[in-house]
Amino acid sequence: MRTLIQHGTVVTASETFLADVAIDGETIVEIGRNISPEGFEKVVDASGKLVLPGAIDAHTHLAMPFGGTVSSDGYFAGTRAAACGGTTTVFDFILQDFGETMVDAIKRRDALCAPEAAVDYSFHVAVKDVSGKLLDSIGDAVDYGVPSFKVFMVYDFGVTDGVFYQVLQKAKEVGALIEVHAENNEIINTLTKEFLAEGKTDAWYHYASRPEFVEEEADKRAIAWAKATGAPLYIVHLANKGGVEAVTQAKDEGYSIYAETCPQYLEFTSDVYKLENARNFVCSPPMKGEESRQALWAAIRRGDIDTIATDHCPFQSYEKDWGKDDFTKIPNGCAGIENMYPYMLSAANNGEITFEQAVALCSTNPARIFGCQKKGAIAVGMDADLVVYDPEMDFVITNDKMHSDCDHTIWEGCKLHGYPVQTYSRGRLVYENGAFLGEAGWGNFVKCKLK
């Protein structure tokens, strides 16, 4: 189908201008003023609206086993929700099994995702086992089109310091990018045991067992090892002031250190763990104090945070309730895949950042960092992943308006100024005015290549 989006204000990571955008099939074929509508099957009047590249959520956990259950959004529900929030590409994390090569892990997960995905998708591999020749299979995965890998410094499936170092060395050798969930596992475990022994079991102690310095120390350690090996490093869900300062210093020194944060750390503080429904906010790392929240916003404004992603990993409220008397039994994770782009665009609409910054953080930067060759920009030849955004539309988030399978949202009652009214995935209209119009299986596996 040929589609023409007329009279909109196009926003990229670097400029804003009035233009029409012409789509032929799945691709942007022309951008200009007063393009003739002749020969187009669909003409959309975007007067008074912004036309943006679709967002890329580079951090999701769909159908992820955790805490004795599985995250409530599978590949269809998660990508459906993404589409309805203007996100047209998602990266999901694959947990490598012991004894499994990285490529086999990718193929195993893709077999589940391909029939379900409603928008395009790619993967990162979370590394657990580098024994034998499995470390070398990182290079095979790079060649296959998945050049990014994650290590956890926490949880029972986290890696040792030695394995982390080996992975960084291999990444430097084969041109991979290593991501890290940075928290000090030993200190968390020690504090947790102390609190449980003292009968301190409510959700507040999830936060108290992971105080600011637990993440800061691990951020600094990970950065030090990346510097030592010369490998690039991507810190996921950065949430603390000290870690922000370490990232800024590393960038100023010229190292390839990238930082991601999430909307929940920009909106909420640790005060949420005092609420009656505090267990719904349990995620790792937890929300931090107001000083850290402000430090994250300041880093965004000066360009030291590169991307916004969600860490989308929701669990049903009855599953969260498993930990009402023991915070260690609360499955960690919150919904956010439908809220990221609207939240950041609302921040731009309210003057917190510019619209160009919102596009860079949510679309252009993740496309560049992770090597999505045809994503993240509005330009001729790129995939027609587009969002039409009404800057005058006020929207209050309630769970009944969301398109996730989760029965609650931590964003309940959040007021946004401006909201997406259309989402196009490779030229196909998949969302319009609150309604999902896509289908399972539409999404393509995006194979990536780092520059």
One CATH from 3.30.1330.10, 3.30.565.10, 3.10.129.10, 3.20.20.140 for 55-370: 3.20.20.140
Looking at 153-299, which runs of residues are DSSP E strands? 177-181, 233-235, 257-261
pLDDT for 48 beyond 80: yes
The whole-angstrom separation of Cα 147 and Cα 141 is 6
Q: pLDDT for 63-84, tens place per residue? A: 998 878 999 999 999 999 999 9
The whole-angstrom separation of Cα 357 and Cα 282 is 29
Give every CB contact of residue 95 below 8 A, 6+ residues apart in sequence.
64, 65, 105, 126, 128, 157
Q: pLDDT for 222-232, tens place per residue? A: 999 999 999 99
Beta bridge partners of 22: 4, 30
Please name which of 343, 351, 359 lies closest in space to residue 307, comparing C-alpha atoms: 359
Q: How much is the pLDDT for 157?
A: 78
Please give the helix or strand (H or E) that residue 208 lies within, else none: helix 204-208
Using the structure block, give the residue that is written with the tokens 């996730």.
404
pLDDT for 159 beyond 90: no
The whole-angstrom separation of Cα 329 and Cα 345 is 35
pLDDT for 343 beyond 80: yes
Q: How much is the pLDDT for 114?
A: 96
3-state helix, strand, coil in the chain (%, to 5): 35, 25, 40
Q: How much is the pLDDT for 67?
A: 77
pLDDT band at residue 108 under the 50/70/90 scheme: very high
Q: Is 237 exposed, middle or buried (0-12, 13-18, 19+ CB in 10 A)?
A: buried
SS3 415: strand
Mean pLDDT for the stretch of residues 300-309: 98
The whole-angstrom separation of Cα 4 and Cα 10 is 13
- Say if CB 313 and CB 334 are below 8 A apart: yes
pLDDT for 287 beyond 80: yes
pLDDT for 156 beyond 90: no
Q: Is 65 exposed, middle or buried (0-12, 13-18, 19+ CB in 10 A)?
A: exposed
Q: How much is the pLDDT for 403?
A: 98
Q: How much is the pLDDT for 427?
A: 98
**Please, where in the chain does CATH 3.20.20.140 lie?**
55-370
Average pLDDT, the chain: 97
Taken in order 393, 395, 400, 403, is the CA torsion positive or negative?
positive
Mean pLDDT for the stretch of residues 351-356: 98
Mean pLDDT for the stretch of residues 408-426: 98
**Please, where in the chain does CATH 2.30.40.10 lie?**
2-52+376-436
Query: What is the DSSP-derived secondary structure letter of residue 269?
Result: -
Tokens of 53: 């590249």
Phi, psi of 165 (to 5 degrees): -65, -40
Q: How much is the pLDDT for 68?
A: 86
pLDDT band at residue 351 under the 50/70/90 scheme: very high
Query: What is the DSSP-derived secondary structure letter of residue 438?
Result: -
pLDDT band at residue 286 under the 50/70/90 scheme: very high
- Say if CB 116 and CB 441 are below 8 A apart: yes
Task: Indicate the fold that domain 2-52+376-436 takes in CATH.
Answer: Urease, subunit C; domain 1 (2.30.40)
Please give the helix or strand (H or E) that residue 286 lies within, else none: none
